[in-house]
Structure 1
């Protein structure tokens, strides 16, 4: 009886055979999934490889033309910005010491108009008889340096007495004001020594309107050093 119980029934495979069939079916399923994933990756990589090969194969001239042809969306909407507009500016050097203009208070210096530097005929700063005339309103940096030197002992023709102090000012005149307006001022004491030399520099940002004028006044015009680089005057739009 015990030996008969160990004999398997007809039509039913032994246990190891059933286990091997299940393992084979799982392996086939895993292989199918792996093959499908590799195929999907290959199909996705084809367009990328095609675009990359096309981009690398283009000559540099074609790439430059394509880059130049493409325009950002915001430029398509508002258009190409205009070219940078030239800004007015001027730089003058002083004339000979005897060429001065006497005004109430201090004499106004005259300048060499052939030294005027301009950016464009339409927006240039004009020079007229000691004055810089503004043609375009805006904020300007205005500057001037005057070098005083004890070159002579005679009195200048716009002041009297012994010189013990020198002063420089930058002023503006406008149709908006009844009298000129002083913008900047600086003074130096020269002392009692025989030979001395003092340079005074002034500079500031000021707002100017069209047809406003700028000019430099000094306390002793005969003491102004007119050598190159010693005394100058200018302005430029910022």
Structure 2
């Protein structure tokens, strides 16, 4: 018996023939529509799909994963709540501090700063200092020592070197200093020296420092001797003030440039 591959074979029923013939059978085929779909037989072996999803949990996750997700969400909400509490507490403290601040301090508000023009700014940044080294020369007419102002360690910044003296360009407090060294091959116990610094202001000269020494010679006859003099002080100088140095024995000055110097620098 051939069967259609597209549909299962219909069931066959065996029935007894009439008139008492036991070995004769008739076969009857159940009449079914050729294109009818077979009836689905209920499956009682496995649980339904919905029950399986409920057993597995949310969206296919088991109960452990669901608890972990729940704990994470709770921690996030707790962190957000703690942050909001901290912000609220800080705002309260700032408000209390501002209320307790004295009225005078509250009135001091930052003001817009007005910058200096370039000329004033450069003047503030410019140094007022000078250091001169000795040339062992002295004017015969005025007795003012001459100095080296450009070479070696000598320099002038914000100060003018004029005719052996220093002229300041800005009023302020200055530290002024000078040192000279005397050297000779002959010596007499009565020899002395004078080392002075003078200030000229409004065409008037006055001595602001002086070192006077007598009886400094203790060398044996025929041996050379050397001595030095150092003066320094704080001076409040005004604009256009002019400073210069004098010595009593020009010929006794040492020829070493670095042992004879004169300078100043502005402190305030």
Calculate the TM-score normalised by the size of structure 1: 0.57
The structure with more strand, counted as a fraction of residues: 2
Where does residue 69 of structure 2 map in the other structure? none
1:224 is the counterpart of 2:224: no
RMSD: 3.3
2: CA distance between counterparts of 1:226 and 1:136?
33
Please list the CA deviations of residues 3-43 of structure 1 after superposition, one character each: whole Å capped at 9, or x if unmatched.
xxxxxxxxxxxxxxxxxxxxxxxxxxxxxxxxxxx967741
2: CA distance between counterparts of 1:227 and 1:209?
32
Where does residue 198 of structure 2 map in the other structure? 171
1:92 is the counterpart of 2:127: no
2: CA distance between counterparts of 1:212 and 1:113?
18
Please list the CA deviations of residues 54-106 of structure 1 after superposition, one character each: whole Å capped at 9, or x if unmatched.
xxxxxxxxxxxxxxxxxxx73x53356868522211100111x3x311357xx
* Large movers: runs of 4+ above 3 Å: 38-42, 46-49, 79-84
Where does residue 184 of structure 1 map in the other structure? 209
* Unaligned 5+ runs, structure 1: 1-37, 50-72, 154-160
Name which of 154, 167, 176 aligns with 1:142: 176
2: CA distance between counterparts of 1:163 and 1:224?
18
Where does residue 203 of structure 1 map in the other structure? 232
Bigger RCO of structures 1 and 2 (CA < 8 A, at least 6 apart): 1
Deviation of 1:211 after TM superposition, in Å, equals 1.4
Q: Do the aligned partners of 1:152 and 1:223 also contact (CA within 8 Å) in 2?
A: no
1:214 is the counterpart of 2:243: yes
Q: Do the aligned partners of 1:171 and 1:214 also contact (CA within 8 Å) in 2?
A: yes
1: CA distance between counterparts of 2:144 and 2:206?
14
